[in-house]
Every structure is written in C-alpha cells, then in structure tokens.
Structure 1
Amino acid sequence: MPWVDARQDDSRPALADPPDRSAADGVLTDLLRQPAGQLTPSVYETGRLVTLAPRLPGHDRRLRYLLDCQRTDGGWGAPEGYALVPTLSAVEALLSTLAAGRPAGVPRDELRAAAGRGVAALSGWLGTTRRMSVPDTPAADLIVPTLVEAVNGHLHSLDDQPDSRWLPTTAPLSLPAGMDRRRLDALRGLLATGRPVPQKLLHALEVLGPAARRRADVVPVAGAVGASPAATAAWLGEPGGTTEPSLAYLEDAVRRHDGPVPCCTPISVFERSWVLANLARAGLRARPAPSLVAELTAALGPEGTPTGPGLPADADTTSVTLYALARAGHPVHPASLIRYEQDGHFCTWPGEDGRSVTTNAHVLEALGWHAGRSTADGDPEARRLLRLARWLREQQHPDGRWCDRWHASPYYATSCVVMALDRYAPAAVAAEAVDRAVDWVVGTQRADGSWGRWSGSREETAYALHVLLGVSRPVRPGVAESARRGVAYLSATAGRQDDPPLWHDKDLYAPVLIVRSAVVAAQHLAAARPELVGPAPTGRRTLSS
C-alpha cells in the first residue's frame, strides 16, 4: 500500500469556512498564550510538594488549596476509588506539616480538623471490614503503599502523645483489596543494587522517598524529572538557595498555577496535538500557526514523541501528533508507530502494564489516514489495520460502550473508538459495533440532555455528540431527538467551567483547552447536521465558551 499524502480528505464534508471558525481560532490562539499547557491542579501532586518542598514559594497557598478542596465526607478527589490517592496525599501532607511544627499562615486548629476528617475517611475506606478498590491510574500500586506507610508512621508517632485527641483514631491503615507491597519492595530492592530507575517510573520518582534524592542515574530534562513537580522535588531535595534548573522548573510550575500544581507539566505536545485532532475530526480545517506546526514536527523522533519532557515516548501521543499534523497538511510518515505493535494491537509504551483502547483507536486513525482506505487482502498495511480494527471491536462491552485506562468516562473511550472504526475500518468489521455504541449513547442520556459518568458534564456530552453526529452510518432510532437535547444542554451551559476532572494521571485532571476543543467540535458537528438537530441557534458566541 503506497503512503498517501495526508492532504487527502475523508468521506465527510468539511465546511471550508464554517460560521464557528472564530471558536476554533480562539482555541488555537490560546494554545500559544500558555505554551506549557493548561491543566487543572492536582490534590495528590500539591500534597507531595507540601511535604517535599515546604520552603518552595506558595507553600501557604498549597495548604489552603488542600483545605478548600476537602469534601464534606472528609476525603478529596473524585467519587469511588478515585478518592484514595488524593486523600492519602492530602492527609499525609497535613500530618507532615503538623509534625514539623510549622503550619505557616494557616491556623493549626484548621489543619488538625481537616487532617482528622481525612483520617476518619481513610479509616472507613481502608479498615479491616471494608477495603476500597483502586482504579487503574498510573503508579497507583506504588503510590498507595508508599502513602499508607507514611500515614501509618505519623499515626504511630501520635499514638502516645497527649495532644492527639483531635484524631478520631491512630489505628494503622490497611492496603486496599487486591493490593500489596510486592512491586514497591521489588523496585526498592532492585534500585538498591545499583540498577537505574526505569524511565517509565520517573514520573512517580517520589515513591522512592529519600532514595530519590540526587540519584546519579536520573537526569532532569529542562529541569524536570518525569515532567512531574513531585518527582522533581523528590530528586532535588530542599532547595537551600540553589539556582539550578530543577528549582527554576518548580518555581515556574507553582507560579503558573498560583501555588498548587498539576501532575504533569509541561504538556505542550499533548495539548496541541489533541486540540488539532479534535477540530479536524469534526471537519474544522484548523489553521495552526507555523511555529506550532514546526514544534510538533520537531517533537517527533524515531521513537515518536512523549507527552512531556523526561517521559518515555508513547504510541498515544505519537499517533495523535501524526494525525494532527497530517490533517493540518503537514504529514510525517508514521513509521515510528511500528515499534509499539504487539499481537493484534499496540502498546502505549513497551512494557506497559495493561492495554488501552484509546491508544489503539488513535493508532488506527494515524495509520489509516496515511495509508488510505485500501483493504486489499495481499497488502500488509491493510492487514495490520484490519487486525487492529478487529481487536478494537473485541474490546467493546456487551452494552455497546468502551472503557479505557487513560480516562474515567466511557464516553471518551467510546467516542475515540467509534470515530476511528467508522472512518478507517471496513464496514463489515465496524458497522455493528458502531451501531451498538450509538444505541448505548442514546440510551444513557440524562433527563437534562447531558451525558456523564457521575453527573452530566459538558465534556462528556461533547463526546456523546461526536458519536451521534460524527459517523457515516444510517441514522439510528432516537438519534435526532437525543442530539437536539444534547446540543441544547451545551447551549444552556455555555460558560460553565465546573466539569469534573476525568483524565487519568496520578490524580484525575482536566486538560482545559482539550476539553474546550471537544465542545467546539461537537457544536460544529451539530451545525453541519441541521437535518438532525435543526438550524444553529442564534448567538454563536457560545461556541467559544
């Protein structure tokens, strides 16, 4: 199969100059205003900085952020098991601050009250009779044992102190169901023999504790260790007046987020490629600045590109970058993806624990766009695409959805897979799976017209509309009414910015501009399908919200 120039178009009509061009241009402009990327802050990562770098500027603001984010039940973070990692981090940070005797500008009684509520929540989740399960988030099997050990150490030290009555209990916490210390102990034992830290673990280097400090086998990239403030702080140790690049990286991170920090920064390649890809899938022909295109192209090496400096290259970021550049008219051959191929599918990175359907959907897009639509039996590229499409179909749940390890919502995973299968897989493979997904989306809409795992959100509603409006299959029953209600929800909630963080890192986060571009894409799909959703509403300014 010859490589096809990416300036080809797919079967969907694109509006050459759509009326919502200003919304897309606004997102592209904002990409350049904050080159490091826009992410919501992380309770987990912020808690680690409170403990690891109390002298770093913004310490009081980080403590205040933790106090302000505590839930009424004493925990932190999202519902279900997603609360465990951020709650452990926040509680350990508060206990560490109290033990150090320097609560700074935050009243000690307030810190004690928050820590006590947090300990009570953890005791309920990790007691002897009930063990909270942990979602498949990065390094959770290393982070949770590390923090349980640290919290138990604080509780033990307070056990015989007369002023510990503010704590509801000093009984030690247990590990969650199905989790043990074996991987953490094996890692520490391996590194004690002089073996280097595996690159994929640099992002969570803080789990090594004091052994992380100034490790000679860890080389910061642009000051960052694993693109993580916590990992960088663990490697750096207390700054002590140093002016080295790692301190500059940390100071820049806390300055950009006014104290609290995200789990991963910078995210320039990740953010820019996802935004361009979201707009392109909807038929919005993006016009990125030449500098943006040049930076994305330069980021691609023989192994692809990583999400952030110091992280390993991965198939997910690589494939979306390849697809985004191709759709913008600047194709790069996708040969770098082949190193990630496994038995019928692609790994996110070599040695990955688990499999990702969204990574494989993005690979199918990148390879499919560059290869064209040939399905000749004797063509090895066509056979590779066919195997991948079949693998994706096999991962579909019986009810029609897909779920993934990089996002908490099945609407994101389902949107990624449906758009890839519909466009780059033979109908004989994709048609039934796509139809089942459409029916699942129609059947799970909320009464207010939204979609969402825990509550209705603009982000998840956008993904649902991508499924309903972005495919070429014959329209299924209920799609028109469901799409109209979804579009009305987006219009009614324009300007709202309280969607829950849904993206997986060490803690859940929201990539602000990526989410915004997904909403813009959904509204453009609606504008392009007036036969389904009716004419576009007046006041198109809402499209830039």
Structure 2
Amino acid sequence: MLTATALGWRGAEFAGAERYLRREGVRRQGLWPVLAPVVNFERATAAALFARLGFPLPPGFTALLSASLRSALGAECMAVAPGLPPDADDTATAVFTLNSWDDPVDPRWLVRFSGAESPLVTAHLLGVLTTVARRAGHDSYRDRQVAAVRLLVETQELDGHWDDRTVASPYPPTAAAAMALVRAIASEFSADALLAVSRAIAWLLATQRPGGSWGVWHPTTEETACAVHALCVCVNPSAERSVALALRRSHIFLADCYDAGTADSTRTPLWHYKDLGSPLRIERLYTLTALLMSGSPLR
C-alpha cells in the first residue's frame, strides 16, 4: 500500500518499487500484500530463538545462516524486509545471534535506538549488550546494559508481567524481558533484576490455565510457548517441582493443539499490524521448540 502510494506521488523515480509491485502482482495472481515478505524478520527471529534456547544446529547450517544475517545487516542495520527503514528489534536479534555464534558484530550503532516505549525492544537490546558488555574496553556497553536492566525493572507491572504496545498479550514481552534479565544477571548480578525475574515467574505460574495453557483471552499455542520458554530458561525445572508440573501440563496442551488449523482459537492472532496478525512460521517454530522443551521436565 505504501509502495503504491509513493509511486503515485513520485512516478517513475521509483523504478525499483514499480518492478517490485509488478512482480508481486504476478506472483499472487493480481493480489498485493499489505507488507513485503518479512524475510529478514523471520530469519533473524528464528536464529535468535535457537541461540537463546541453546538448540544445537548443524555447523554448516549455522555458517550459512550467519552469512545470510551478515548480508542482511549491510553496513549497519537490518530492516524487517528489504527496502524498509532500519528496525531496532530485527537488528538486535540478528546481532545477538551473530555474537552468540562467535561471529562478533560491534553494536555501536544500536545506541541510537531507544527501547523506552517497548519492553520487547528493550529486552532484545539488553540481549545484545550481554554479548559485549564483559569484553575489554566496552565499559560504555556495560553502562547501557545497566540502564536497560533498570528500564525493564521500572516498567514491570506490580503483578509481575510486562505489557507492550506491539502485541495484545502480556506473555511475549514478559517472556522476553525475563529471559533477557536472566542473561544480564549472569554477567553482572543485580538484586532488582533477580526480584523482577522471580515476580515474572510467579505471575506465569499463577496465570496458567487449568488445562495447562496460557492465554490472555483463551488458551493459545503461541502464548503457551512463550511461557514455556521463559520457565525453561529462567528456572531449573528439576529443582523446582511447581515449574516442572506446569511444564508437564503445558506439554499435554501443546501436543493436543499442535496440528490445529490457523482458524482455530488456539492460534488466535495477537500482534498489532493494521489488524491483529500472526507471523505463522515463527509462531509454529515457537510452539515446536516449546513442545520439545516441555517434553520431560520431571526427573
């Protein structure tokens, strides 16, 4: 829509945009998407998920994925899709992955982005900062890490969750914030951060539904997956029986609902685009990894 509007304003000056619209129209048999294919977002989000959860991947696969992320980053930043403005969230997830996979990127240009209005962005920026803050000569990044931790602590709701304007549910930002704070605590202990994580875990356990799911309106696989990721990363299930039991209940729910169609209520869109939407491939990946992680929490 924006591309077509720009063409209406500027005409042939946007020859590349015209080619894009023609190509998409042919590919989709006369229909045009609201957004460009979000290839950078999907690639960076999936890679960051694997890195954050410690999922083993074939060496050749990680090398190819790293090269792809490097290429998408370009000189400085990454956009959600080619041709769109640089995006802090996608840039942060890409740099976090590369640094986690020992293909270091100096995130000095991320400092111009602010996550003050979004706990999700703050959490992803904090994840990047934990990959560089402990390196020699990076005191400025350590200071920014401390500031990001403080911002997350200050924006946590009294009951332990976080809200984010980009998503209708509190579960994705709560999971992201808790996992980022745990990484930060590992590099530099903070009593306030530890308390914030403890409150978030308590809120997750308290809001699990009787059938083992989580959901702001009703049970959904995506929200349940986010809760599972946070519990597995932030707590040792073998040492916390209440967490292990919660994971076992969630595994039963995820297994029962994994093959649900996109119209099923368990796959309700949660993300704020022009309407509520869902990045389907990412939602499936989150659900699959949560299903694997919650499979045998009790020992």
The residue type paired with residue 184 of structure 2 is: Y
Cα displacement (A) at 1:390: 0.6
The runs of at least 4 consecutive aligned structure 1 residues that moved more than 4 Å come to 217-222, 259-262, 472-477
Aligned match of 2:257: 493
The residue type paired with residue 273 of structure 1 is: A
Sequence identity percentage = 34
- Higher relative CO (Cα under 8 Å, sequence separation at least 6) belongs to 1
Deviations 1:306-360 (A, max 9, x none): 10123210211100011122233422221221222xxxxx24xxxxxx8111011
Distance in 1 between residues matched to 2:134 and 2:252, nearest whole Å:
36
Alignment partner for residue 367 of structure 1, among 129, 147, 150? 129
Deviations 1:140-176 (A, max 9, x none): xxxxxxxxxxxxxxxxxxxxxxxxxxxxxxxxxxxxx
Cα displacement (A) at 1:441: 0.8
Cα displacement (A) at 1:478: 3.1
The residue type paired with residue 44 of structure 2 is: S
Deviations 1:486-531 (A, max 9, x none): 111112223223301112222222112211221233234335xx4x
Distance in 2 between residues matched to 1:339 and 1:268, nearest whole Å:
24
Contact kept, 8 Å, 1:282 with 1:524, in 2: the verdict is no
Cα displacement (A) at 1:262: 4.6
Matched, 1:215 2:12: no
Cα displacement (A) at 1:285: 2.6
Cα displacement (A) at 1:292: 3.4
Distance 1:323 1:418, change over 3 A: same
**Secondary structure at 2:165 match in 1:** coil
Aligned match of 1:416: 176
Alignment partner for residue 267 of structure 1, among 38, 48, 60? 38
Aligned match of 1:463: 226
Distance 1:445 1:296, change over 3 A: same
The residue type paired with residue 511 of structure 1 is: P
Aligned match of 1:447: 210
Distance 1:454 1:297, change over 3 A: same
Matched, 1:251 2:26: yes
The residue type paired with residue 74 of structure 2 is: G
Aligned match of 1:285: 56
Q: TM-score, normalised by structure 2?
A: 0.85
Cα displacement (A) at 1:305: 0.9
Alignment partner for residue 332 of structure 1, among 105, 126, 136? 105
Distance 1:484 1:473, change over 3 A: closer
Distance in 2 between residues matched to 1:415 and 1:393, nearest whole Å:
14
The residue type paired with residue 126 of structure 2 is: L
Alignment partner for residue 198 of structure 2, among 435, 438, 443? 435
Distance 1:436 1:260, change over 3 A: farther
**Structure 2: gaps spanning 5 or more residues:** none
Aligned match of 1:294: 67
Contact kept, 8 Å, 1:279 with 1:518, in 2: the verdict is no
Q: TM-score, normalised by structure 1?
A: 0.49
Distance 1:293 1:217, change over 3 A: farther
Cα displacement (A) at 1:383: 1.6
**Secondary structure at 1:418 match in 2:** helix
RMSD: 2.9
Tell me which protein shows more helix as a share of its residues.
2
The residue type paired with residue 366 of structure 1 is: V
Contact kept, 8 Å, 2:133 with 2:145, in 1: the verdict is no
The residue type paired with residue 362 of structure 1 is: H
Distance in 1 between residues matched to 2:118 and 2:15, nearest whole Å:
27
**Secondary structure at 1:402 match in 2:** coil
Cα displacement (A) at 1:411: 0.5
The residue type paired with residue 431 of structure 1 is: L
Distance 1:221 1:336, change over 3 A: farther
Distance in 2 between residues matched to 1:339 and 1:276, nearest whole Å:
24
Contact kept, 8 Å, 2:163 with 2:174, in 1: the verdict is yes
Aligned match of 2:280: 512
Distance in 2 between residues matched to 1:466 and 1:373, nearest whole Å:
27
Contact kept, 8 Å, 2:7 with 2:14, in 1: the verdict is no
Matched, 1:306 2:69: no
Deviates more, 1:389-398 or 1:329-338: 329-338
Cα displacement (A) at 1:384: 1.3
The residue type paired with residue 336 of structure 1 is: W
Distance in 1 between residues matched to 2:99 and 2:84, nearest whole Å:
24
Residue correspondence of structure 1 range 173-188 to structure 2 within 5 A: none
Deviations 1:110-150 (A, max 9, x none): xxxxxxxxxxxxxxxxxxxxxxxxxxxxxxxxxxxxxxxxx
Aligned match of 1:52: none
Larger Rg: 1
Aligned match of 1:169: none
Cα displacement (A) at 1:476: 6.0
Cα displacement (A) at 1:447: 1.9
